[in-house]
Amino acid sequence: MRILYADTCYWIAMLDPRDQLRAHTQGMMKNIGSCRIITSEMVLVELLNALAKGGERMRELAVEAIKHLQENPNVEIVPQTSLQFQSAVQRYASRLDKGWSVTDCASFLIMEQKGVCDALTSDHHFAQASFNLLMK
């Protein structure tokens, strides 16, 4: 089974009906078919923060989505740990020439540790870090 890493923009596209990448992302996932998705608590924090400004209904939708992801056997949510955070900050500090967020750095480390090359994202920072962007 194909393993993909899901970044914040993927989750937003899948959940927010107003997102510009929604139709493209849904069509892409139909073409990909069955897969295992890895994401992180840091990414889900970004998702919750991004959808918070969408009002009560979007906040409710975000909470429901997180619950479904936690229960889905084909989704692995990597927990935020102090060690992971420290490692992400180290990566962030070592790439000051890039516009990478600390969440990006944590995602890159997770992908490297798990041997995942394909990212469900349109964030060009993943390409800078030598990963394949699937949401082009």
Q: What is the pLDDT of residues 81-118, one digit of tens each?
A: 999 999 999 999 999 999 999 999 999 999 999 999 99
The pLDDT of residue 4 is 98
- Using DSSP's 3-state secondary structure scheme, residue 38 falls into strand
- Which residues fall within 8 angstroms of residue 95, CB to CB, at 6 or more apart? 105
Residue 31's pLDDT band (boundaries 50, 70, 90)?
confident
**Alpha-carbon gap, residue 116 to 119, rounded angstroms:** 8
**CATH no. of 2-133:** 3.40.50.1010
In the chain, % of residues over pLDDT 90: 91
Residue 73's pLDDT band (boundaries 50, 70, 90)?
very high
- Which residues fall within 8 angstroms of residue 89, CB to CB, at 6 or more apart? 102, 105
- Using DSSP's 3-state secondary structure scheme, residue 97 falls into coil
Task: Give the residue extent of every domain in the chain.
Answer: 2-133
- Can you give the pTM of this predicted structure? 0.94
- Of the candidates 37, 64, 33, which has an alpha carbon nearest to the alpha carbon of residue 48? 64
